[in-house]
Structure 1
């Protein structure tokens, strides 16, 4: 590959793995990305498209293998949640500061109503893409439903980034730039939401103590 020498860090490593192992290498990296979020799919997927443009494998092959990797990684996290279990999770939750079991009950009720949508759309949201599999396992969402929703959501997300990387070729990093903006927006929203929760909960605790 003419630009391989210019790629360093995660990008250089990912391209090397995909060139050595082909499509299965892309799937392996995406499976690892589910378990280790510092490996960002917003970089790996466009690189899979870029590698496909160099003839290492085909675009359909890249999409199929990366989607398979997404499902495998999600299943590992689902299993982790299922093994940890609802009872242990509630015991840990009860020891956390600023929250109580009523909060967890409301969260579980919300997941019961909207869990399918959360799994499907969560596969297209940075940060949540990996984490959403754990509560699905804790709540024991039916496995066929979980696999179907994960496959559908991952297929859309992976296709978008792989095709973009293929079309852009050596300019694949443009996709990463735009995806980075989206990721930063998600992080800001999460931080603001967490800050609002902490402040409102501290105020409530002060009111309760005053009463």
Structure 2
């Protein structure tokens, strides 16, 4: 059964073709690629998959199963990239970056050791970070079974919300993209502001070095 009123082009058209041709596995493939290439928006693919389920192209259970499986598969690939990249190589690159210190990386590593489980689980429900969080998990060599479990749970929640939204909204599934797109832009703005603040503090510290007391 073909999707009615499906978009003719763009990412939505590409995702619609995958789902219409392959059903659940097509939706899973689209989401796996979305994890590897964050510019592919889950806020388009997931509601569209829910809409397809509402039209009988696939079942709702199949939509949730395959999109979650695709999320985990894409995340594991990024995890292995981080693991192969390794901590020592990360330290070597970090040492060459301007405005950063080795202690900054050490603090980040300690933070991930304490909060890594929460970061991986909750990060799966935050636009942009839902893909990126897999890399530091691999770098820090979080146990793979734990990573897979947290990724599966977080992805299932995120995917369920967007798939069900598309399922209930029907022809109006694109409304989901609008609201999640606003959230994504908000997250991006916060990241940029935090980065600029970090750079400003570093530059200020360099321009106003502390004078040691002389005895």
How many angstroms apart in 1 are the aligned matches of 2:96 and 2:210?
Answer: 20
Alignment of 1:103-122 (within 5 A): 103-122=104-123
- Where does residue 131 of structure 2 map in the other structure? 130
Tell me the TM-score normalised to structure 1 length: 0.97
The CA deviation at 1:54 is 1.2
SS of the residue corresponding to residue 208 of structure 1 reads coil
Gaps of 5+ in 2: none
- Structure 2 residue 150 is the aligned partner of structure 1 residue 175: no
Gaps of 5+ in 1: none
RMSD of the TM alignment (CA)? Answer: 1.1
- Where does residue 200 of structure 1 map in the other structure? 201
Query: What is the aligned length?
Result: 210
Tell me the TM-score normalised to structure 2 length: 0.95
- Where does residue 67 of structure 1 map in the other structure? 68
The CA deviation at 1:89 is 0.6
- Structure 2 residue 1 is the aligned partner of structure 1 residue 11: no
- Where does residue 143 of structure 1 map in the other structure? 144
The CA deviation at 1:206 is 1.0
How many angstroms apart in 2 are the aligned matches of 1:163 and 1:18?
Answer: 16
How many angstroms apart in 2 are the aligned matches of 1:193 and 1:165?
Answer: 33
Runs (4+) of structure 1 exceeding 3 A deviation are: none
The CA deviation at 1:91 is 0.3
How many angstroms apart in 2 are the aligned matches of 1:159 and 1:78?
Answer: 23
The CA deviation at 1:60 is 1.1
The CA deviation at 1:210 is 7.3
The CA deviation at 1:127 is 0.9
How many angstroms apart in 1 are the aligned matches of 2:124 and 2:87?
Answer: 23
How many angstroms apart in 2 are the aligned matches of 1:191 and 1:41?
Answer: 21
How many angstroms apart in 1 are the aligned matches of 2:108 and 2:207?
Answer: 24
Deviates further, 200-209 or 176-185: 200-209
How many angstroms apart in 2 are the aligned matches of 1:210 and 1:178?
Answer: 51
How many angstroms apart in 1 are the aligned matches of 2:167 and 2:210?
Answer: 60
Bigger share in helix: 1
How many angstroms apart in 1 are the aligned matches of 2:139 and 2:201?
Answer: 28
How many angstroms apart in 2 are the aligned matches of 1:33 and 1:209?
Answer: 47
